[in-house]
Amino acid sequence: MLACLGLYRWDPGWAGTELHTAPGERRTLALADESRITLDADSRLRVQRHLFSRRVQLLQGRARFSVVHSGWRRFQVDAGAVQVRNYGTVFDVSRQGARSEVTLWRGSVGVQAGGQARRLQPGQRVEAGPQGIGAVHSSEGAQADWPQGRLQFSATPLSQVLAELQRHHPGRIVLDDPALGQLAVSGVFDSDRSASALALQPQILPVVLQPGDDGSVHVRARLQ
């Protein structure tokens, strides 16, 4: 009995699979248990198979996890200092540096970070990092349809909109004046046509786009 308990805690693993996407690319990985992982553009993760668990390391970017529940093989996502355990569910994890955001669409997940733990319910999202877990917010306003290439914004700061478009755009998008990042953007954009979505911004905001010599696009204030 003690030997079995020790083996469960040790949970030996073996070689896994690494998946990555280029800007503008999305990929879906089907696991042996019929769970599915959709990796957003400009993202990277590693799937590690263990005897008593299924583990994913989100190294960069964003992924959606549609997980089939298994009573004896837990499913765990590690995003830096943030750990997410799920109980048969659909959820997103988005990683930016040391911090990550977890959004739960269906089922239940437990989030651990910085010595804190929190259980999320459907329609909730939370940010977490090495210092712990932030306040729980509604998933309203989160990108629910990104796996289908739809980015929807409602009075969203321009800085966040450009960060979303950057995942899909081949060149750098540079916001020359940080104050412009507070401009509010509303609308639905096709992430597979990031150049067109970017070109629409001067039509709805007081900004201009200036191409750089290195292929970048600079977003600047429109002169009156």
Domain ranges of the chain: 16-138, 149-221
HSE-CB for 26 with a 13 A CA cutoff: 16
With helix as H, strand as E and coil as C, how does the chain read? CHHHHHHHHHCCEEEEEEEECCCCCCEEEECCCCCEEEECCCCEEEEEEECCEEEEEEEEEEEEEECCCCCCCEEEEEECCEEEEECCCEEEEEEECCEEEEEEEECCEEEEECCEEEEECCCEEEEEECCEECCCEECCCCCCCHHHCEEEEEEEEHHHHHHHHHCCCCCCEEECCHHHHHCEEEEEEEHHHHHHHHHHHHHHCCEEEEECCCCCEEEEECCC
The model's confidence at residue 223, banded by pLDDT at 50, 70 and 90, is: confident
Position 52 scores a pLDDT of 66
* Tens-digit pLDDT profile for residues 134-166: 999 999 878 999 999 999 999 999 999 999 999
Average pLDDT over residues 74-91: 91
Global pTM? 0.86
Q: Is the pLDDT of residue 14 over 60?
A: no
In whole angstroms, what is the distance from residue 155 CA to residue 143 CA?
Answer: 13
| 16-138: CATH topology | Jelly Rolls (2.60.120)
Position 112 scores a pLDDT of 96
In whole angstroms, what is the distance from residue 130 CA to residue 216 CA?
Answer: 33
The model's confidence at residue 13, banded by pLDDT at 50, 70 and 90, is: low
* C-beta separation of 129 from 114 below 8 A: yes
Work out the mean pLDDT of the chain and round it to a whole number.
90
Q: Is the pLDDT of residue 62 over 60?
A: yes
Q: Is the pLDDT of residue 10 over 50?
A: no
Q: Is the pLDDT of residue 4 over 50?
A: no
Closest to 23 in 3D by CA, of 160, 167, 148, 164: 167
Q: Does domain 149-221 have CATH number 3.55.50.30?
A: yes
Q: Is the pLDDT of residue 7 over 80?
A: no
Residue 160, token pair as written in the block = 């966040």
